[in-house]
Amino acid sequence: MRRIPNVITAGRMALVVPVAWTLLHGQLAMTLLLFGAAAASDGADGFLAKRFGWQSDLGAILDPAADKLLLATVFVTLALIGAAPLWLTVTAVGRDVVLVLGALTYRYWFGPVKVRPSVISKTNTLCQLTYVLAVIARLRFAWPPAWLVILLGASVFVTVCISGIDYVLTYGRRAAGEVRARRAPGTGAS
């Protein structure tokens, strides 16, 4: 039973290619269904893990990786078909690239990275999921109204920027603290 959240997360990762494929081929109702299932699974795995204490080290890696993979793929696909602005796609995907490179650098120099998603980061993921659903729904059903899609896109931009800056500052401070600790007299560091 403890593996259920990780199985759900793996299922979300397995939906990435079908979501992109259906979107590229204009099968928008199927894209909405698949992406909606993937978005719902993001909430379900987290709820189950927390509610029943089924958190794991693997889940702590898989869950954000699944989110980043799904959202980056869909943003790029939407940009390719002209449904999402390139600048917003570059901002959203660029933030994730910076975070992954930063985590790898931190791991190389200082050891394991213990990432706890901040409230703004969770808000950003929710904004991105909502924006993508709205863009696809507008393509398929001409609803929601364009102004709402623009407002959702603006919320994605703002939360991407704030959460990206928050992560860089938080882990930059941690790295600086590690450097100071290594240089402190009596720690055996030279």
Q: Is the pLDDT of residue 189 over 60?
A: no
pLDDT in tens, 144-168: 999 999 999 999 999 999 999 999 9
Closest CA to 67 of 146, 123, 9, 130: 9
Q: Which CATH architecture has domain 4-183?
A: Up-down Bundle (1.20)
- Residue ranges of the domains in the chain? 4-183
pTM summary value:
0.92
Separation in Å, CA 5 to CA 1, 27, 71, 119: 9, 29, 19, 21
Q: Give burial (CB, 10 Å; 0-12/13-18/19+) of 177.
A: exposed
Q: How far apart are CA 187 and CA 91, in angstroms?
A: 41
User: Quick one: pLDDT band at residue 185, thresholds 50, 70, 90?
Assistant: confident
Only one residue has tokens 């079908």, namely 18
- What's the chain's average pLDDT? 94
Task: Read off the pLDDT of each residue in 132-144 and give the average, rounded to a whole number.
Answer: 98
pLDDT in tens, 37-56: 999 999 999 899 999 999 99
pLDDT in tens, 95-130: 999 999 999 999 999 988 887 889 999 999 999 999
